[in-house]
Amino acid sequence: MSSKKIFWISSYPKSGNTWMRAIISSLFFSSDGKFDFNLLDKIKYFDYRSRYEFVKKINLNDYNNLHKISSVSKYWMKAQDLADVGGDFAFFKTHSANLIINNYNYTNEQTTRGFIYLVRDPRDVAVSWSQHQGYDLDMTIDFMTNQQSISRTLNSSKDIPINLLRWDQHYKSWTNLNTPHKFIKYEDLLRNTENIIQDIFHFFEDNFGFKVNNFNNILKNIINSTDFRTLQNTEAISGFKEAKKSKFFRKGLINEWKSALSNAQIDRLNKEFKDTMIELGYL
């Protein structure tokens, strides 16, 4: 029987997931709230092929086809149940939609203790992701509006497939998970960083009894050490293994889409995602 132990940091790509990992890892895994990139190893991607080695003993054909959604979906819940968390509470990052394939859930209330979901204006997501992946904007928008879109953590055709659905479907899929959760807009995190971090602390305090001494000092250190410019400077000096075609911490701006997208591209995204964008206050 599955045990409730995983806490997800979830988002569509390029929506602030890594920034949130930096904040959460500083809060939980440092003594003073000061972030360094090594702390990100405390909140790893879940969707790696290595988590599915157990499948080899169960079904060799499925093991050889883990790069296919139809095969790996059978083992999503088992992989979460077997995750080595060193206790009864662990953080993992995912970009997967919380979807159902052939009656197999990506995750559910039996393995999930809670989640934080980051959401960002899809017009800015398009700009940021096109730079990150090295794709042109129209190709990126095609991807974001395609229900069949698949990404892979390592960009290898043999790696675990991550079904993103459309941008709006991805967001909605996580609203169906009935566990303690917090939805955070990237724009609010950027504009009101201190208040959002305080809200996150109180979320863990209220739902999981999390306590910390000298929180005000820790809060100050988290804000300073996870500031976007600080992360940019650190990446410039030391590099960052999650970067691909461009700097990972590229700009982190709000409303960059206004100058980066054509009117046709803006109109298309507004039309495709109209209802969800209105719901979230982007239109």
- The model's confidence at residue 191, banded by pLDDT at 50, 70 and 90, is very high
Range of the domain at 91: 6-119+169-248
- The model's confidence at residue 86, banded by pLDDT at 50, 70 and 90, is low
Query: Quick one: which of 217, 179, 219 has its CA closest to 23?
Result: 219
- pLDDT per position as a tens digit, 92-117: 999 999 999 999 999 999 999 999 99
Q: Averaged over 142-169, what is the pLDDT?
A: 90
| Cα–Cα distance measured from residue 32 to residue 27, given in angstroms and rounded to the nearest whole number | 8
> Is 21 inside any structural domain?
yes
pLDDT of residue 1: 42
- The answer to whether residue 138 scores a pLDDT higher than 90 is yes
Torsion region of 67: left, alpha or beta (phi above 0 gives left; psi -120 to 50 gives alpha): alpha
Q: Averaged over 114-125, what is the pLDDT?
A: 97
- pLDDT per position as a tens digit, 72-81: 999 999 999 8
- The answer to whether residue 156 scores a pLDDT higher than 90 is no
> Is 145 inside any structural domain?
no
| Cα–Cα distance measured from residue 100 to residue 135, given in angstroms and rounded to the nearest whole number | 28
pLDDT of residue 251: 61
- pLDDT per position as a tens digit, 5-60: 899 999 999 999 989 999 999 999 998 999 888 888 899 999 999 999 999 999 99
Query: Quick one: which of 65, 66, 107 has its CA closest to 83?
Result: 107
Helix (H) or strand (E) holding 163: strand 161-163
Q: Are 50 and 154 in contact (CB under 8 A)?
A: no
Mean residue pLDDT of the chain comes to: 89
pLDDT of residue 250: 53
Amino acid at 214: N
- The model's confidence at residue 3, banded by pLDDT at 50, 70 and 90, is low
- The answer to whether residue 195 scores a pLDDT higher than 50 is yes
> Is 261 inside any structural domain?
no
> Is 79 inside any structural domain?
yes
pLDDT of residue 252: 66
Q: Averaged over 246-265, what is the pLDDT?
A: 80
pLDDT of residue 4: 74
> Is 136 inside any structural domain?
no
Q: Are 111 and 6 in contact (CB under 8 A)?
A: yes
- DSSP label at 160? P
Q: Across-strand partners of 101?
A: 104
pLDDT of residue 159: 86
> Is 44 inside any structural domain?
yes
> Is 23 inside any structural domain?
yes
Please report, for the chain, how many H helices and E strands are present, in that order: 15, 9
Number of domains composing the chain: 1
For β-strands 181-185 and 112-119, DSSP reports them as: parallel
Q: Which residues contact 64 (CB under 8 A, 6 or more apart)?
A: none
Within 13 Å of residue 4, how many CA atoms lie on the same side as its CB? 11
Identify the residue with better confidence: 83 or 247: 83
The enclosing domain of 45 has a CATH number of: 3.40.50.300
Q: Which ranges constitute the DSSP H helices of the chain?
A: 17-29, 55-58, 60-63, 69-72, 76-82, 122-133, 137-144, 167-175, 186-191, 193-208, 215-225, 228-238, 257-260, 263-272, 274-279
> Is 151 inside any structural domain?
no
Q: Averaged over 246-272, what is the pLDDT?
A: 84
